[in-house]
Structures are given as structure tokens and as C-alpha cells.
Structure 1
Amino acid sequence: MTEPTTRAAYDSVATLYAELFSDVLDSLPLERALLAAFADLVLAGGNGQVADVGCGPGHVTAHLCSLGLSAFGVDLSPEMIAIARRAHPGLRFDVGSMTALDLADGVLGGVLANYSFIHTPPARLPVVFAEFARVLAPGGHLLLGFFAGDDPEPREFDHKVAPAYRWSPDSLADLVGQAGFAEVARLVRAPHEGERGPQGQLLMRRQS
């Protein structure tokens, strides 16, 4: 998927997406636990600045702020950003691309990419992960949420908004590692009712 196509797809469903998912963390205790661990690790590093890349309607950005982080959101979709700004007027939300973040080198203590890179063709992901490494300070943490699979090769599937990819945790960890990250933890859970397969979380640390 190209960025313009993905942007248009999410612009078209932004209101419905916000209605469906703005309170989704209430039903995801494992994801909340890993977000809390991510926040603790970021804060322990002394730099609580976190970018929620692909923030959508801003619900996870707000949750990160409730955990003590100085979090802000970035999203490709102007409609999503407009909704996030209305829902969370005290927080910062910017339209932007994960391949070219409008940030200086090494300014962040953390990056969250929660199901936001799933539409990116695998051949383009090294650019994304290199950009995350660029904006993270050494020792900073990266938390990725993704659709998990068993196949060592990423597999495209028909996501409801735009075509997306499933990744095996091993393959994804190897790819992110090539951008200068070391694995800290991973989580793969069984799908809840209505979900189309296992869900994965990967926590990585930017090496010095």
C-alpha cells in the first residue's frame, strides 16, 4: 500500500473507527500491562517524550499520558488527527509520515507503533524502523503492535480498511534488530471474539 492510498482509506473510516476503538483498551488487559511496562522503562531512562506513531483517534496517546509520559500523536490521516484533537484538546497531535518524522535525531525516550505499520510493504519497513531508530535516544524503547502469524515470511491479508501483513514475531524481531534494536520482551495472545487471528506485541530497545 502506498501512503496516499492508506491515508485516503483511513480518512474515509475515521469517524467509524473512533466510535469502534476509542475505548478498546478497556477490554485488553495484556496490552495495558505491556503499555505500563513500556512507560516504566521509558521513564526510568529519564526521557519521557514518546511519539505514538499512527495514533488514530488518540486514545492510546491519552493512555500513555495517564501513565506519566509526555506523549504526542502522529498520524498519516488528517481526519484521524482532527478527531484526536477534538477528543483530547490538551494533547499534541500532528499529521505526519512514519517514514519522515518531523523530529530531530535522538530526542525521544520511546516510540509506540500500535498496528500502524501493518499496511507497509515489507520491503519498505527497513526505512520505517531506521526512522524510529533515528528519533530515539540510545537506550530508548520501541513498542510494536501487529497481527501475528506462524509463517516466517510476512503474509498479506484482506484487512477491513486496507490490505495488511501478518508477521511472525521472530521475523519481525530480526528485521527491527537490523535497525539497531535489541529485543526486550514479546507477547502473542490468542484472538478475542471478532479478531482475525493472534495478536502480537514486541518491545525493543535502541542500542547505543
Structure 2
Amino acid sequence: MGDHVRHDSVRRSYDTVAEEYARRLHAELDDKPLDKALLAALFEQTEPGTTIGDLGCGPGHVAARLAGMGARTVGIDLSPGMVAAGRRRFPQVEFRTGDLVELPAENAEFGAVTALYTIIHLAPGELHRAFAEMARVLRPSGLVLLSFHIGEEIRHVDEWWGHRVDVDFRFLDPTRVAESLEEAGFTVEMRLERTHYAHEVETRRAYLLARSAVSTG
């Protein structure tokens, strides 16, 4: 399956579940203390006054939490349905529709970006392109916080909460992801793994915090 066709399938799948996703998961961070701590650490290290981009933002609850800390936030998602759900719920967040490998953002627009459980929908060959895009939209020394499921498997889903979908979830090797970030010019500053919380799907999860290159200009 070509990248374009696969991205269309992911987009349609998330459009299909957007409203239910937003209803079920809008408060999921309340029960994820480590995620909240990492978001707070990201915000604390982001240059004051700069914007944080939430890539693969879904219905925008992560961007909204960062906005609650005082950040100016932009949520970007492949799914127009997710973007619409976010706009209805979180007017304090600016939303845009766009792809990780071709972000609708200016060069150096963001002081930091998050990408939580979103690179899991990319083909392995697309990771470097996505990380290059993150580097492009970040200011010098900007931070990116990534999370993903750990492993080698591809988990296909064709039914989600009673809806017909067609989407793959790719589990990833943290070492390979870190290497790909470094190839795109990032320095990985933190790598962490955890088991699932009781209310989550039973997978191990990885978090990487990486910094973009310092400007030499």
C-alpha cells in the first residue's frame, strides 16, 4: 500500500471515530501522572512566549493541557474530524489539518512540539522525513517530546468502538527511533519506558525528549 493511500485510510479511520474518541478520551491525562509531568517539564523548558505545536493532536486535549499551563498552542492532525472535534471543545487552541511529513507550519514557528502516539501510523521509511519536518518547524534548541508503543509488531484494527476502520498501529524500537532523531539533527536528552496504566491497552510505552540543533547563524 502506498504512503498516500495509507495516510488516506488513517485519515478516514480517525474521522470515523473522532466524536467518540473525543468523548471517551478528553480527560485521559487526568489518570496519566507521568505524561502530565513530562508535559510540564516540556513547558518549563520552552522559550517563554513561543508556541508549542501538538502534532497528531487528535481532539486537542494535550494541547489544551499545555494551554492551561500558559502556553500558546497549535494542534495539527491528519483528520479533519478530529480537528473539528477539538475546535468545538477547546477554543483556546488553534487547530490546523495536516500531515506529519508535510506540516502546515512555518520554519522555526514553534518553541517545542509534542507528538504523542502519532508516529506509530508512519511507515518506517517516513520517520526520518517526519523528524526532518519537526526540525524545520522548531526554533533552534527547541524540544520535541515523543511517545509510542514499544515492539516490532504491526497491529491492524478494522473495528474500533463498533465503527469500521482500517488503520495500522506500528510498534517501534526506541533505539531505532533515537537514531532516526539524531540523523535528523536532534540530540536525545531523555529516554524513558513504562508499563501501561490499568486503564490503558497492555503495551510498554517509550518517551523520548530531544533537542533540535543550536543555530550557528
TM-score by length of 2: 0.88
Q: Name which of 29, 32, 36 aligns with 1:25.
A: 29
Out of 129, 153, 175, the residue aligned to residue 127 of structure 1 is 129
C-alpha distance in structure 2 between counterparts of 1:109 and 1:183, whole Å: 16
Q: Which residue of 2 aligns with 1:205?
A: 211
Gaps of 5+ in 1: none
Partner of 1:15: 19
How far apart, CA to CA, are the structure 2 residues paired with 1:175 and 1:18? 31
Equivalent residue, structure 1, for 2:145: 143
The counterpart of 2:153, out of the listed 147, 152, 155, is 155
Aligned residues: 202
Superposed, 1:30-179 pairs within 5 Å as 30-42=34-46, 45-149=47-151, 154-159=152-157, 162-179=167-184
Moved over 3 A (4+): none
Q: Quick check: 1:47–1:108 contact (8 Å CA) kept in 2? A: no
Contact 2:64 / 2:92 at 8 angstroms: preserved in 1? no
SS state at 1:183 partner:
strand
* 2:171 alignment partner, SS class: strand
Kept in 1: contact 2:52–2:74 (CA 8 A): yes
| 1:127-156 deviations in Å (ceiling 9; x for gaps) | 11100001111100001111123xxxx432
RMSD: 1.5
Scaled by the length of structure 1, what TM-score is found?
Answer: 0.92
Distance 2:131 2:153 in 1: 19
Consecutive unaligned residues in structure 2, runs of 5 or more: none
Is the partner of 1:202 in helix, strand or coil? strand
Paired letter, 1:80: M
